[in-house]
Amino acid sequence: MPNFKIPPQLAHLKIESRGYPVPYFVGIIDGEPNFKFLNERKQHECMEHHLCGICGKKLYKDYSYFISGPIGLRNAVSTDPAMHRVCAEFALESCPHLKFQKAIRKENKSDKKDYYMIEEKPEVMVMVKSSKYKKFIEPVNKRWLYRYTPVRVWAYAYRDGILEFAAECSPGDFDDLFRSLIKK
């Protein structure tokens, strides 16, 4: 069983057989949640109605949060929906794909290169506070993506294979922080 406490904001989510809450945006395949896939209909609902991708509730007016790697932060682009801070922090703490460095990414079985997904897992993950975001269609695969305006960054690094909080910085200071984290 997973070792984490589910925040009250997420108490309404269905719990799957291993004990993980099923985020709003997760794809359901053959009646079971498949955490490797995003439900495109729900992603679009999140974009159109400003809903959190984790809890499915309305986002706050002033800020939202995204989880990404360093390249996603530099490009200010995300495939995953915006989140409340408590939901993003819970995802970083509980999602096996994020929490454990050796967790495997989904395979890209498409003939088209996914220009917004890096195949290798980054050594550093970030939670990005965004003052605004907008949707756009990625031109090659015709998928909806988010372009956000970062205002604050929380960096997390893998230590002994487990994701841990490392530091907080402004977006402009991230490159220096990133270099210091990967040298450790």
pLDDT digits (tens, 9 = 90+) for 82-116: 999 999 999 999 998 899 988 765 554 544 444 44
Nearest to 146 by CA among 54, 67, 37: 67
Q: Give all strands (DSSP E) within the chain, no chain letters.
A: 26-29, 32-38, 64-68, 77-78, 124-137, 144-159, 162-169
Q: What is the pLDDT of residues 1-25, one digit of tens each?
A: 678 899 999 999 999 988 899 999 9
Give the range with max mean pLDDT: 55-69, 119-133, 168-182. Answer: 55-69
Flag whether 94 is in a domain. Answer: yes
Flag whether 110 is in a domain. Answer: no
Q: Which residue has the tokens 């809890």?
A: 55
Flag whether 17 is in a domain. Answer: yes
Number of domains in the chain: 1
Q: Is the pTM of this model over 0.75?
A: yes
Contacts of 9 (CB under 8 A, 6+ apart): 55, 57, 84, 86, 87
Distances (CA, A) of 136 to 20, 64, 109, 147, 168: 31, 17, 23, 7, 28
Q: What range defines the domain where residue 22 resides?
A: 8-103+121-183
Flag whether 115 is in a domain. Answer: no
